[in-house]
Each structure stands twice: as structure tokens, then as C-alpha cells.
A and B are shown apart, each in its own frame.
Chain A
Amino acid sequence: MSTTQEKPMTLKSLSHKKDLLTGGHRMCSGCGAPIVLRQVLLAVENPVVLTNATGCLEVSTCLFPFTAWRVPWMHSAFENSAATASGIETMYRALRKKGKIKKEMNFIAIGGDGGTYDIGFQSLSGAMERGHKMLYICYDNGAYMNTGIQRSSATPFGADTTTCPAGDVVPGKPQRRKDLTRIMAAHNVAYAAQASPHNWKDLITKVKKALAADGPSYMGIIAPCNRGWRCQTNDAIQLSKLAVDACFWPLYEVEGGKWTINYDPKDKKRPIKDWLKPQGRFKHLFAPGNEWMLEKFQQGVDADWESLKKLQEAFGR
């Protein structure tokens, strides 16, 4: 339950809120992850406890003896942000039942795509199935950036990473990415959504909905990494927007089984090459002889977008 009066959300009103993730952390300049997290925390009204999987955000925000977090925050390992949060949330219920805690609180587990799609997948799936009232946030930059840009199951087709380098025989990642948001929706969570930091209003509204939902919730949020994507340090917001406009990263939500696409670019839908072109990790896709890769990428994006629209048609409002 929100403890404050609902007012129209404006940048001006948000600017009066205290930043719960402070400056002075050690994330790379232009990184998408802290932008995402600051937006997420702007949505929080109740006292909140965070857990964080091992990764860029974790190592860069809490380097002993300093911390950039103004809220209780816990990291324990790479693959268990959800399980750790489930323990905290359960202790909260146990102590509340005994009257040792009175106040309403929120619990947010955070992981990168490595800690969420791959090594932490089981822990996440288990926690969501058990129904803990917590929000899981995946900031998705599409590779293991913390350890030096290795492929993950969130890495897009064709991308050049340090473990699927664009070589003479194998031109980057051969596989398409896993669609985790849909997999989480298939867990019948109370709320699942995709968001992007370029649309802060949509992102913050979704976090509010997720925290208010009566049960577990999941949000996948695109978070450009200029080191891994091989782009400029001022590209994060522009590339987030392009990903949405090209329908690579559609903004949608699944609320109690109802599918809603929050933004449909319609005739302004951009070709995927507009999103790929500024990123050095896809440079080889534009080399002569690799036209098939661009085509294959576009076909994949189109197919996903069409099937998402069908889900909205079938299970929308």
C-alpha cells in the first residue's frame, strides 16, 4: 500500500525524492544499470530491502568499507539473489506474525542477465513459484559484462562476445536469446513486465504496480552496457529507445494473466539494423557475405513481436 497521496508523476516531483542509490559508486560512466536502479527506487514508497546477485552493480556499489546504498542491501552469491530475498521476506513474515515488526515493507531482488537467465534461473523460478511477495528486477545488458563480456542466454543472436567471438568460421553467437519475461509470465506470477529506462514514466509505474501486486513479480529492464555493446558512453538512453522502437525490447506487462503491450510503434517501427548499427558487437553483421545474419535477426524480432501481439489479442483486456 502506498503511504503517500497519489500525485501526478512529474520529473519535478521525482527530483525531490532522495536518491537511494547515491553517486560515488564505481559503475562505468554511461552504464545503464545505475540509471535503471535509480528509477526503480524512485517508485518505492515503503521501507525496502534489496538483494543483489554478484555482478557489476554489486561489486561497484559496495566496495568495502564503502557503500552507495541508502537502504538495507544484501549480496551473498551469484546465483541466489531470489533465494536470499525469499529468506529475508520469510523472516519478515515470521517476525511480523509475532508482532516484532509492525510496518509494511517491500523486497526487491536484483540480478543482471547472467545471474537471472542463467546461473540464477533455478533460484528465481523456485522463489516465484513459492509465491514470496517480492519483486525480481533483471537489469539486462545481454552478456556477462562484469567478467569481461562473455555470452549469456540473454545475448542476442550474432553478437560478438569474448566467448562467442565473431570468428572466420563462427560469426558471433549462433543462438537466439531466451525470452525470460515470457517464461516468468508462465510462472503465473502476479505481475510480469518489460521496461526501458528511456521511458521512465512507464518504468516507474510498472515498479509501483509490481510492488503493489499480491504476490511475486518480475521485471526485465534493458540496461545498455557501452563496454560490451561497443558504443558511446552517451548512448544508453538512445539505444534503449531504439531497442523498443525496433520491437527488440517491447514494453509490455502481464497482470493476472492479462497481456498488454504498453507501446506499439506501428508504422514508426524501426528496422533492427538501426539498433544494431551503432553497436560494435554487431559490426560483422554489416560485412559483405553476412547479410543473412541481418535477415535472420530481423525475422526473429518480427516473429517475436507478432506472437506478442497475438498474446495480447488472445489474453488482453
Chain B
Amino acid sequence: MPTATKTVAVTGNQAVAEALRQINPDVVPAYPITPSTDIVQRFSEFVNNGEVDTEMILVESEHSAMSAAIGASAAGGRVATATSSQGMALMWEMLFIASGYRLPIFMALVNRALSAPLNIHGDHSDGMGMRDSGWIQLWSENAQEAYDNMVMAPRIAEHMDVRLPIIVCLDGFIISHSIESMKYLPDEEVKKFVGEFAQLNPLLDTDNPKSIGALVLPDYYMEHKRAQHEAMLKVKKVVQDVSAEFAKLSGRKYEIFETYRLEDAEVVLVSLNSAAGTIKDEIDRYRDKGIKAGLLKPRLFRPFPYEEVGAALKNAKAVCVMDRADSFGGYGPMFMEIASALYPHKGPVLFNKIYGLGGRDLMPLDVDQVIDETVEVAKTGKVKMVKEYITVRN
């Protein structure tokens, strides 16, 4: 039976900050960066007004934010932070160490373009840039999903089958700064849901001293990495279980990816985060015209659920993968995953559009053009250009 909830009109950042307040982590090391600054500011207010008993560390850089998070988590408690773009890039070295030490730190990533040129607006190059760092990635379409994912994040990261850091992505400005109507869970329900955390082998257990961070040479390095790989394999089930439990609490059901009118779809778009909202509207319009269009929106991007995504897409005729980031010299990062997922199947014709970099809008008419082209590709079986930038000057 879903619990009583409160409907509010808030920004994405406000929703994430509220989730953090309700989780009440032991330590939050943070450094402000647009567009995630608001989360850090709001959380600082919670701290200074005594609404949480978290100790904040107002560090001098994101590198130190993640370093302090690593120290604090290993010391033996719950640790969260938030960042964007260049901040994520500066943390990059430490991200691999957080996952290599199996520390269940959780972090909001308010997605923003990477320099150069300098740009503060939303795209996915920061999240895609860190995708191989060993962190679990959950992506969120709107403020509600960002909030819900954040509440679920510690449960997934801290699960004894997992013990890995987790990141919750939401689109910079489009979601972080727009006011939406959404529902909060009551404080006590969140508290009960996330529960208490006990670190394994905490550093502060000085009666049982442990050394963390050994030099590991070729004789043992691979075993460490293999163990990390094995832990990642267990994430999917944990995400499904935690999401099912969360659905009972909230009435909101989340899968590892969302499908929209996909069942019988012949032309399919694949897209992450906020663009999915616009695409869903346009799919409805095309359905009204009798065109069998559908959407697949990944939620769990790391680990990527290849088998399930492959099975969901294999009966389509044409699939256009919409990437809000580029892998220069390669296809868009999500395109590569979808192509891998479909590799075992005879499957649909695939192509790739790069859109929305540096916060460029994706308008309904832009989506229509993509759907039109996908319809054409489904008909002819031919792709003019596998990877193409759209909504861009020539």
C-alpha cells in the first residue's frame, strides 16, 4: 500500500537536496559547480539550521571532495556528494579509486557539457566520460525520478552483493532548474527505507587495524578487478529488488529501463533523461497517425542490461539512438551500447543522432524529423549516415 505522500512544486536540484536531507548522510564533502551548486547550497542550509546531523566538508576542489569522500567512507559511515561537468572531470582520478576500494558513496551528477568551449548547460558528456570508472549509473528523466533514484541509491550501493559507488544523473538546467510537480515521501519512510549503514572493516576500528590502498602488482591486480566485475554483475538484480521495494512504498514502479509504446513498435527511438519526455509526446502524435513508434529509455546505464535491451529492441524495424554526448572518432556512447545489445539478434537497422550538446534544445519538430527518418529507414532498410549531428548549423 503506497504511503501518504506530499505533492510539491520544486526544481530538480531541490528534489535531490530534499532526498539528501531525508537520507541524512554522516558526511558530505562538496564543492560548488553550476548547475549542481544549488544542491550544495541547500544542503549547507540544512546543516547550519540543524535539519540534518551531517558533517559537511567544504573542500577546496572536487578532487579533494572525492578524496575526502573516500577517506570518510572508508573511515566507516555514509557519504554523499554532488557535482557537474568540470567538477566530475577533476574528480576523475578518484572515481576509479572509490570503486576500486568498493566504497558505497552516492553522488548526484547534474549533467553539464564539458569544456572546451566553456559551456554551463546540459549534456551528457560528463556522465558518459565517467562511465568506465566502476560506478553504478542511474539516469533520471525528471525531478521525480531524480528524487526517487537518489532515495534508492544508498540501498543499491550499500547492498552486500554490491558495495560500489553510485551516481544519479539528471539534466542540467532542463531538470535541475525547472520547477515541476512531484511527490516527496515522508521523512520517516525514507529513513526506514534507507536504514542504517555499517561499513566493512572501518578504518576507525583502531582495535582491528587495517591497511587500505596497498600497491598491487601483476600477481594480484587482475583478481581485484575481476572481483569488481563480479560485483557489477550482481547490480542489476539488486536494482530490480530495491526498485520493487520502492514501488511498494511509493506506488512508483521503476525498471532497469523504461519502455514507451514499445511492445509492437516498428520505429524506435532510444534516449536518456529529459529528452524522453518530448519524445513520448511526439510518439503519441505519430501513433495517432497510425505509425507504430516507440521509445526505450535506459535508466541503469552501468552496468548496462545488454540482454534485456536487445530482447526489447530486436523486433523493431529501425532504431535511432539519440546521444546527448559524442565519443569523438567513435559513434555516440549509447549507440555503441545499443549496437552491442543487438549484436546477437538479426535485429533492426540502427543509426545514431547526436543532439542537444551544450544545452541546445531538442524541440518537438526536431524529434518529428528523427521519427520521419526512422520511418524511412524502416521502409528502405537503408541508412544515409550512421552518425549525424542534428539541429546544428552547416
**A88 near B72: Cβ-Cβ < 8 Å:** yes
B94 interface residue, CB < 8 Å from A? yes
B215 interface residue, CB < 8 Å from A? yes
**B93 near A94: Cβ-Cβ < 8 Å:** no
B306 interface residue, CB < 8 Å from A? no
**A63 near B72: Cβ-Cβ < 8 Å:** no
CA distance in complex: A125, B61 (Å):
11
The residue that A88 contacts in the complex, of B58, B93, B203, with Cβ under 8 A, is: B203
C-beta contact mask, B194-236 vs A, less than 8 Å → 1, else 0?
Answer: 0000000001111101111111110010000000000000000
B297 interface residue, CB < 8 Å from A? no
**B55 near A76: Cβ-Cβ < 8 Å:** no
Interface residues of A in 67-114 (CB under 8 A from B): 67, 69-77, 79-80, 83-88, 90-95, 97-98, 101, 103, 105
- Nearest CB of chain A from residue B247's CB, rounded to whole Å: 31
**A92 near B204: Cβ-Cβ < 8 Å:** yes
**Which residues on the A side are within 8 Å of B59 (C-beta)?**
83, 86, 126, 130
Interface centre among A48, A65, A94, A127 (most CB of B within 10 A): A94
**B213 near A75: Cβ-Cβ < 8 Å:** yes
A231 interface residue, CB < 8 Å from B? no
**B206 near A91: Cβ-Cβ < 8 Å:** no
CA distance in complex: A108, B101 (Å):
21
In this complex, what residue of B is CB-closest to A106? Answer: B206
**Which residues on the B side are within 8 Å of A101 (C-beta)?**
204
**A85 near B71: Cβ-Cβ < 8 Å:** yes
- Nearest CB of chain B from residue A237's CB, rounded to whole Å: 28
- Nearest CB of chain B from residue A6's CB, rounded to whole Å: 23
**A87 near B220: Cβ-Cβ < 8 Å:** no
**B26 near A91: Cβ-Cβ < 8 Å:** yes
**A130 near B97: Cβ-Cβ < 8 Å:** no
C-beta contact mask, B53-74 vs A, less than 8 Å → 1, else 0?
Answer: 1110111110110011111111
In this complex, what residue of A is CB-closest to B31? Answer: A126
**B216 near A64: Cβ-Cβ < 8 Å:** yes
**A72 near B205: Cβ-Cβ < 8 Å:** yes
**B74 near A88: Cβ-Cβ < 8 Å:** yes
The residue that A76 contacts in the complex, of B60, B70, B210, with Cβ under 8 A, is: B70
CA distance in complex: A59, B216 (Å):
9
**A90 near B55: Cβ-Cβ < 8 Å:** yes
**Which residues on the B side are within 8 Å of A105 (C-beta)?**
204, 206
- Nearest CB of chain A from residue B65's CB, rounded to whole Å: 8
**Which residues on the B side are within 8 Å of A47 (C-beta)?**
206-207
**A74 near B203: Cβ-Cβ < 8 Å:** yes
C-beta contact mask, A48-59 vs B, less than 8 Å → 1, else 0?
Answer: 110110000011
CA distance in complex: A73, B76 (Å):
13
CA distance in complex: A72, B220 (Å):
22
A62 interface residue, CB < 8 Å from B? yes
In this complex, what residue of A is CB-closest to B77? Answer: A91
**Which residues on the A side are within 8 Å of B63 (C-beta)?**
79-80, 83, 123
Interface residues of A in 233-275 (CB under 8 A from B): none
A291 interface residue, CB < 8 Å from B? no
Query: A48-B206, A65-B220 known; A83 and B101 CB under 8 Å?
Result: no
CA distance in complex: A127, B65 (Å):
11
A162 interface residue, CB < 8 Å from B? no
A306 interface residue, CB < 8 Å from B? no
Interface residues of A in 14-69 (CB under 8 A from B): 47-49, 51-52, 58-59, 62-65, 67, 69
Query: Can you give 13 contacting A-B residue pairs, CB < 8 Å?
Result: A64-B215, A70-B209, A71-B209, A72-B205, A72-B206, A72-B209, A72-B210, A87-B29, A87-B79, A88-B75, A90-B72, A91-B75, A97-B53
Q: Supply 12 further A-B pairs (C-beta < 8 A) apart from A98-B53, A122-B64.
A: A49-B203, A63-B214, A80-B64, A87-B71, A87-B75, A88-B203, A90-B72, A91-B73, A91-B76, A94-B26, A94-B77, A95-B26
For the complex of A and B, list the 5 residue pairs with the smallest distance between their C-beta atoms, beginning with the closest: A87-B71, A126-B60, A75-B213, A87-B68, A47-B206
